[in-house]
Structure 1
Amino acid sequence: MSVCDKVISLAQKISVDECESVFCTKKTITIRITDSEIAEIKENHDRSIGIRLVKDKRISSAQSNASEYDKIIQEALHAGKNLSPREFWKSFPVGSKDTPIEKTNDPKLWEMDSARATELAQSMIDHTIHQKITRISGSLNIVCDDFEIANTSGLHKSEKSTYISGLINADSEIGTPVSGIGQANSRVLDLFDAAKIGEDASQMCVSSINPDTIQNKTASIILEPQAVGELLYFVLGPNFNLKTFSEGRSCFSEIGAKITVDDFSLVDDPHAPNSLGAKSFDDEGVPTNPRHYIRDGAFEGTFSDTYNALKENTISTGNACRFGVPLGRSTDPIPVSAPHNLSIIPGSQTRDEIIQNTQDGIVVGRLWYTYPINPIKGDFSCTARSGIFQIKNGQIKPIKSVRIIHNLPILLQNISAIGNNSKVVLPWAGLPVTCPTIKCDGIPVSSI
């Protein structure tokens, strides 16, 4: 009998109405890079369990290590006595068939040890080194997890997953300090390119040296995938959360309304092979499926987990998430609603074509401090500090940091080009997104 089945069996003996049990075995290797060298190597193995109990429509939860599941049942039951009933609650999801996804579980990553991981991290450093680069920092994370979920509605599923993610920041203090970033993410080792992470960071940093100051202006902005990812995760994505939408806190108020240009489509694609967010079922066991949030410029739908869906008298979209740190799944007893792999459908133009077709504009390689100012109106702020270049009369020159304060609905209506160079981006402390280069016109920028 599995751990999840044992938990459910014990819970049923104390006459709860429903029980959900999640169990996860996890291996994590983390390598931290500081001052251009490997500063820390950590390997961790963890087994944990989380439960949700329902009794008289009171929903309680608890989490602990895998050897104390009998104890946390009593803890959750005791805590539930002080909770209010959730009258809208019906039941946990029932069992259903899932779609297998390729390139999401690699035996090579399960077998990898710290010595081999250190070689990859050193390769990232070696390919960043340049005489004009002062300092290199970053990290390499390898995560392998075996996730199991079961409930009293007859659902019982498990899935093994692997993840590898590398990040390098390169800094130069020649004149005005500048930086560059390189990042790569994969689910399988053979598709992970450690050398390119360093090369990308080095190239962005070195090409940004000796930047000019520009005057405040309104211009066409070409956002590279790393910059688009920041806006997508922190500013655009939250508007499609069913809870946010139903409470009137989304800057989009009507499903079916035209909210952006015809060429723009936004989808959550958890079935994309080798994507960090790919999974055959969500963290409540509901099958995942690709879903459009924007189709050909029109607002099409929202995402939710079971709890928030039932609260609005609808069904889950298969977007319950229990976030693992630094990647993967966890046994957090209460899941939240989130997209798995938020993706902008790529266009037909290359990045170079977009730049060549821009007479006067700014290329932004990376954004920092990206956050909504007034989410209901769609106002946001961000700072471009890495890989910023001005396009003027066919020439591209580096420029100093600029601040962008703008409005999301207006920005979406002024997209003039979408690239074909989609890339998986992992925003800082965020979830994976997939996005290409995008050009937006009429964006105000202010010199810092």
Structure 2
Amino acid sequence: MSAFEKASNYCKKFEIDECESVFVKKQITTIRITDSEIAEIKQNFDESFGIRLIHHKKCVSFQTNEQESIEDMIEKALQTTTHLKPLKFWKSLPYKSNHKKIPNTFDNKLYNISGTKAADIAQVMINSAQDKKISTISGSLNIVSENFELSNSNDLNLNDKATYISGIINAETDKGEMPVSGLGQECCRTLDQFSPEKIGQDARKMCIESINPKKCENDTYTVIFEPYSVGELLAFVFAANFNFKTFSEKKSCFSNNINQKIAVDEFSLIDDPHAMQGIGTKSFDDEGVETNSNSFIEKGIFKNTFSNLFDSFKENTQSTGNASRPGSPMGRSSEPIPISAPHNLRVKKGDTSQEEMIKDTKHGLLVGRLWYTYAVNPIKGDFSCTARSGIQIIENGKVNPGRSARIVHNLPTLLQNISSVGNNQKNVIQWASLPSITPSIKVEGIKVIPI
């Protein structure tokens, strides 16, 4: 008997209105790289269950990795409902539906990969980053395969098998006046599309080109954010402002701007849950609602938000299919209560190459990586971040390495001052954060403070 059948039968016994069961079977292979060599190979196998019960519009939930304990935990969970207020706005869990499988989201090569083969891939990452100027190499490789099952008492039964692979290398050198580093990163869903060589090559190139950096002036610059740094901004600055809950509570810096122009015409931001090789690609969300492309910004106009069932019902509207039970380092989990999140935040690519962006810049910075990115005043859109790696000072189209700098800026202002969108679109994912697909973006008038 499955976990859902066990939960469902027990719920019928107590005449519970609705029952939802989530089962996740996960295999995670992690290769940890330290001091230019493989330091650890770890494989984890995990099975867990999440149960959500809704009775008289009161919601209780629990999570366990012991199927045998589900009935006891249901009984204990029900005892807590006397202390809960009913969610009068609640309507219903989704009903039975059929969703088409999206190609290239499951790869048998990744599902069956051995620790030895994974170590070989990690070694290629290391080898391609090596150079006489590189002092030490660190990083990691994560390979995840999972089976996600979702069932509820409205005859919804869905299953999704998925694989993910992500690698990152940080190359460091002490050959110049001060230590500097470079980053390389790749992520996708199938082994054939993963390039461990490029990860190491990118890290090596960024590191070597950063040797002997000069201090930036305390000044206003044109800043070219490369894809990995754009991904950081999308995950930690942009996304929350398009969350329907944040928007409806007037906590988004765009809460008063629906259907208004908030960015330049050349900028469009969408949630693309069907993107090929996207880390967040899926045909149904983590409540069983069908996923569809959703435009947040279309040619500069604020068009839409994202939501799950709870947040949309609360405002008497419909879910956009963005319920999420995020797993670490990638994929899904059995969290019994989902949050709202985009699947793949995608910036539509432009027509300009990064080389052309640099050539046309008189006084600017090229930023490869951001750290410590967070909202300072979310309602106004103020944020802070630190450029720590891959910084190049641009003067009249010529680049020279730059030192770390802090950027304190404002999201609405940034969107209005985008001067160019690149054509170098790339899959990126920050650690245990939102997947994104983005090119480089060039922004005018950014205040930069040297560190």
The Cα shift of 1:268 comes to: 0.3
Contact map agreement 2:23 2:148 (CA 8 A) in 1: yes
Residue among 250, 256, 261 paired with 1:258: 261
Contact map agreement 1:23 1:66 (CA 8 A) in 2: no
Which whole-Å CA distance do the structure 2 matches of 1:424 and 1:313 have between them?
35
Residue among 216, 225, 228 paired with 1:226: 228
- Aligned partner letter, 2:196: A
Is 1:10 matched up with 2:10? yes
Which whole-Å CA distance do the structure 2 matches of 1:80 and 1:163 have between them?
39
The Cα shift of 1:426 comes to: 0.7
- Aligned partner letter, 2:154: S
Residue among 278, 281, 301 paired with 2:281: 278
Which whole-Å CA distance do the structure 1 matches of 2:65 and 2:331 have between them?
18
Is 1:346 matched up with 2:349? yes
Instruction: Identify the residue that residue 135 of structure 1 maps to in structure 2.
Output: 136
The Cα shift of 1:122 comes to: 1.0
Is 1:365 matched up with 2:368? yes
* Superposed CA offset, 1:201-256 (max 9, x none): 11101110000112111111111001111111100111000110011100002210
Which whole-Å CA distance do the structure 1 matches of 2:226 and 2:5 have between them?
47
Which whole-Å CA distance do the structure 2 matches of 1:11 and 1:44 have between them?
32
- Aligned partner letter, 1:366: R
Contact map agreement 1:62 1:75 (CA 8 A) in 2: no
Instruction: Identify the residue that residue 55 of structure 2 maps to in structure 1.
Output: 55
- Aligned partner letter, 2:153: T
Aligned Cα root-mean-square deviation (Å): 1.2
Is 1:150 matched up with 2:151? yes
The Cα shift of 1:102 comes to: 1.2
Contact map agreement 1:63 1:72 (CA 8 A) in 2: no
Instruction: Identify the residue that residue 64 of structure 1 maps to in structure 2.
Output: 64
Q: How many residues align?
A: 448
* Superposed CA offset, 1:295-337 (max 9, x none): 0101001101101111111111100000111111110001000
Instruction: Identify the residue that residue 249 of structure 2 maps to in structure 1.
Output: 247
Identity %: 54
Contact map agreement 1:269 1:290 (CA 8 A) in 2: yes
Which secondary structure state, in structure 2, belongs to the residue aligned with residue 127 of structure 1? helix
Instruction: Identify the residue that residue 236 of structure 1 maps to in structure 2.
Output: 238
Is 1:441 matched up with 2:448? no
Is 1:287 matched up with 2:302? no
Which whole-Å CA distance do the structure 2 matches of 1:195 and 1:142 have between them?
17
Q: How does 1:302-341 map to 2 (within 5 A)?
A: 302-341=305-344
Residue among 178, 182, 185 paired with 1:183: 185
Which whole-Å CA distance do the structure 2 matches of 1:16 and 1:103 have between them?
39
Q: How does 1:356-435 map to 2 (within 5 A)?
A: 356-435=359-438
Q: Runs (4+) of structure 1 moved beyond 3 Å? A: none
Which whole-Å CA distance do the structure 1 matches of 2:356 and 2:24 have between them?
46
Contact map agreement 1:244 1:250 (CA 8 A) in 2: yes
Which whole-Å CA distance do the structure 2 matches of 1:339 and 1:255 have between them?
18
Contact map agreement 1:20 1:149 (CA 8 A) in 2: yes
- Aligned partner letter, 1:141: N
The Cα shift of 1:385 comes to: 1.1
Is 1:36 matched up with 2:74? no
The Cα shift of 1:195 comes to: 1.1
Which whole-Å CA distance do the structure 1 matches of 2:184 and 2:142 have between them?
14
Which secondary structure state, in structure 2, belongs to the residue aligned with residue 440 of structure 1? strand
The Cα shift of 1:103 comes to: 0.7
* Superposed CA offset, 1:346-386 (max 9, x none): 00111111111212211111111111100000111111111
Report which stretch shifted further, 274-283 or 76-85.
76-85
Report which stretch shifted further, 422-431 or 179-188.
422-431
The Cα shift of 1:66 comes to: 4.4
The Cα shift of 1:6 comes to: 3.0
Instruction: Identify the residue that residue 209 of structure 1 maps to in structure 2.
Output: 211
Which whole-Å CA distance do the structure 1 matches of 2:339 and 2:447 have between them?
35
Which whole-Å CA distance do the structure 1 matches of 2:368 and 2:374 have between them?
17
Which whole-Å CA distance do the structure 2 matches of 1:149 and 1:181 have between them?
37
- TM-score between both structures, scaled by the size of structure 1: 0.98
Which whole-Å CA distance do the structure 2 matches of 1:276 and 1:429 have between them?
11
* Superposed CA offset, 1:126-178 (max 9, x none): 11112222221111111101111111122111110000010111112232121
Which whole-Å CA distance do the structure 2 matches of 1:64 and 1:117 have between them?
30
Contact map agreement 2:134 2:208 (CA 8 A) in 1: yes
Report which stretch shifted further, 68-77 or 316-325.
68-77
* Superposed CA offset, 1:15-39 (max 9, x none): 1111001111111111111121111
Instruction: Identify the residue that residue 170 of structure 1 maps to in structure 2.
Output: 171
- TM-score between both structures, scaled by the size of structure 2: 0.97
Which whole-Å CA distance do the structure 2 matches of 1:11 and 1:312 have between them?
29
Contact map agreement 1:4 1:148 (CA 8 A) in 2: no
Which secondary structure state, in structure 1, belongs to the residue aligned with residue 129 of structure 2? coil
| Structure 1 gap ranges (5+) | none
Which secondary structure state, in structure 2, belongs to the residue aligned with residue 81 of structure 1? helix
The Cα shift of 1:78 comes to: 2.5
Contact map agreement 1:98 1:288 (CA 8 A) in 2: no
Which whole-Å CA distance do the structure 2 matches of 1:250 and 1:294 have between them?
14
